[in-house]
Every structure is written in structure tokens, then in C-alpha cells.
Amino acid sequence: MMSSMGERLSQRLVPDHLWEMVASLLPEFRPRRQGGGRGPLDNRSVFTAVVYVLSSESAWRRLPSSFAVSPATAHRRFVAWCEAGLWERMRQAVLEGEGADDEKRWAVSIAEAAMSR
């Protein structure tokens, strides 16, 4: 269970308005073939962890455990989302959509950070 501090950080990194837009752009998740392990993590949790790494310019291995997402999982989904063209689609959707300028700048900066990696 996420602490109230973790929930506030999550809301700051990925506000509901941004999540609603991004959720519809995410490609379907396919579990890895080897099977076993835990079930797939919630997309919003993984997306928030990825946004943290992108916005902090941190190494994947330094992802805090408070996100409850392993660095390997966050990186694997990031790569899959890059291959699916998520970041450019997200950038376009933000620029074409409604919203406050500061929210748009934040979302565009996330997409651009992802595309530069």
C-alpha cells in the first residue's frame, strides 16, 4: 500500500488528467514468455515510476523501492513504449488537447525526455 507521501508524489508526477490521456495511448501489455513470477503490474504504477526516472534523470537502477516497481520492469516497459511510439503520440495528444499551460509543459517535457533517451 502506498503511503500518503507516495500518493502525493504520484499525483504530482502523473496527475489524473495526464493519466487519463496516456492510459488510452498505452499499447496492450503482453507478459514475458518464460512465465512464472508475479502477475503484471498496474500500468499507472509503472508509468509513474518511468516518469520519475525521466524527470529526475536518474539511472534505472536507482529507482526508489517506494514505487513498488522493479528497475528492470520499469525499463522493460519504457523500451516497449518507445518501440510502440508512445512518447511522440503522447506529445502530440498533449499539444492538441485541452489543459493548463503548466500541465502541458510538464507532459511535453516528459515525452521529450523519453524521446531523448
- Residue 100 covered by a domain: yes
Residue 59: the pLDDT is: 95
pTM of the model: 0.83
pLDDT digits (tens, 9 = 90+) for 23-70: 999 988 766 666 655 666 889 999 999 999 999 989 999 999 989 999
The three three-digit cell numbers of residue 90, written as one number: 503522447
- Answer whether residue 27 is part of any domain: no
For 101, residues 6+ apart whose C-beta sits below 8 A from its C-beta are none
**Max Cα separation, the chain?**
44
Per the structure, the complete domain to which residue 84 belongs is given by: 4-22+42-116
Residue 33 is assigned to a structural domain of this protein? no
Tell me how many domains the chain contains: 1
The mean predicted confidence, pLDDT, of the chain is 85
Under DSSP, the state recorded for 69 is S
Provide the terminal-to-terminal Cα distance of the chain, rounded to the nearest Å.
31
CB 111 within 8 A of CB 90: yes
Cell numbers describing residue 110: 516528459
Does 32 map to a domain? no
Residue 37 lies in a domain: no
pLDDT of residue 74: 95
Task: Confirm whether 29 is domain-assigned.
Answer: no
